[in-house]
Structure formats: structure tokens, C-alpha cells
Amino acid sequence: LVWFAWDQFGGPAEPAPAAASSSVSDKSVAVLPFVAMSSGPDDEFFADGMTEEILNSLAQLPELLVTARTSAFSFKGQDIPIQQIAETLGVQHVVEGSVRRSGDRLRVTAQLIRASDGFHLWSQTYDRDFADLIDIQENVAFAIANALETAMDPEALANMVSSGTNSVPAFEAYLQGLAYGVSTLQTGDKYLFLSARDAYERAIEIDPEFAKAYWQL
């Protein structure tokens, strides 16, 4: 009788994946590691740090589901279709971009892609002085949240766009610390972890009021 009930009402398991796919929230996003387009010794760490901070900013919004950094960074350097990445991570949208540094100039390109059809919901290139670094990071996070039509209450919005410092050198050191932290999780290299600590300490030395750097440290 038990077998008969299972056979009649349990049914085959094949439809389950489709049901899971359809349940993915439309307010879900993965931020892939930004590509460093310049060849400076620290440019890759800088790009990774900016990616991490944009991810952290978006995660401040309760309505938005943001893929964990360890999952998103596992696709670093891989040439995989956006739709496949989104399906693997269980999100409806993917953010990708690039960073190029040249002297005192910074060029950041970012785009928000809807995975179901590959359409770009938002894309922007920021070609500015390096002194505008903080504004660029905050603008990217805000534009992505706006494109996803999240309901941003004032407190959540303030938390999202606040970098925590007005000092670009302190923020750059902070981004480097974030990047070292991500690399530590990927490689298990304890020396990268110590480099992250040193970067946060530099950020605090430059701006003693930089609460985010204290928190990471």
C-alpha cells in the first residue's frame, strides 16, 4: 500500500529542478570579480577590492539577495556564459565590469545583465580622476540597486552609499585589504591574511575615524 501511494502520488522527481529555477527571486544578483585591464602590481587587488565593496554595499539592502563573495569569486578568470553562471549561483541578474588605472586617471566600466535573456538593464563607464574613486564606487552600487527597482528606505540607502571615509588613500588601502581577504579565502595563504591586516592598519592610520576599516581589522 505504501509503495502504491508513492507510485501514484509521489510521482517522478524530474520536475523538481524546473520548480526550483522558477522560485529564484527577481531581486537577486551576483557581482562577478571586475577585470583589471591595466598591469600595475596592485591593480588586480584593487579591482577585487572594488568588487567586494560594491557587493557589500548591495548586501545592505534587505530586499536584495546578493550572492556570497566566495561563490561569486569562484568564477574569476573563467570564460563561462552569464546564463550558466546565474543558474549555478541561483540568481536572476549578474554584474560584471572592468577597471583600468593610468596615472591619476581611473576608468571603471560596469554593467547589470538579466540572465534570462542576456539583456543589459544598465551599463555605465566612469572615466575620471582617481580622486573620484569613492564617488564611482557609490554611484555603481546605487545605479544597480535602482535598476533592480529595490524599495530603498532612507536608512538602507544611507548605509549602502556610505563608504565610511572621505579619504581616497584610506579607501584605497581598505579596498586592498578586502581583496587580500578574498584571496585568503580562495587560497588559504596566511601571508595574504597578514597583508589584509596591514592594509586595514594603513587605512586607519590615514583616517583614524574609518569605522569600516576597524571592523574589518
For 71-127, the pLDDT digits (tens) are 999 998 888 999 999 999 999 999 999 999 888 899 999 999 999 999 999 999 999
d(CA 138, CA 213): 17
DSSP 66: E
CA atoms within 13 A on the CB side of 92: 14
Output DSSP code: residue 67: -
User: Between the CA of residue 193 and those of 76, 117, 174, 209, what are the distances in Å?
Assistant: 19, 39, 13, 23
Q: pLDDT tens digit string along 161-208?
A: 666 888 999 999 999 999 898 888 777 888 888 999 999 999 999 999
Asked whether the beta carbons of 132 and 108 are under 8 A apart, the reply is no
**Spatial separation of the C-alpha atoms in residues 178 and 49, rounded to whole Å:** 5
Which amino acid is present at 185?
L
Beta strands, E only, 28-165: 28-31, 35-36, 65-66, 93-102, 105-114, 120-129
Q: Measuring CA to CA, how many Å separate 133 from each of 7, 47, 86, 89, 158?
A: 61, 12, 28, 29, 18
What is the model's pTM?
0.76
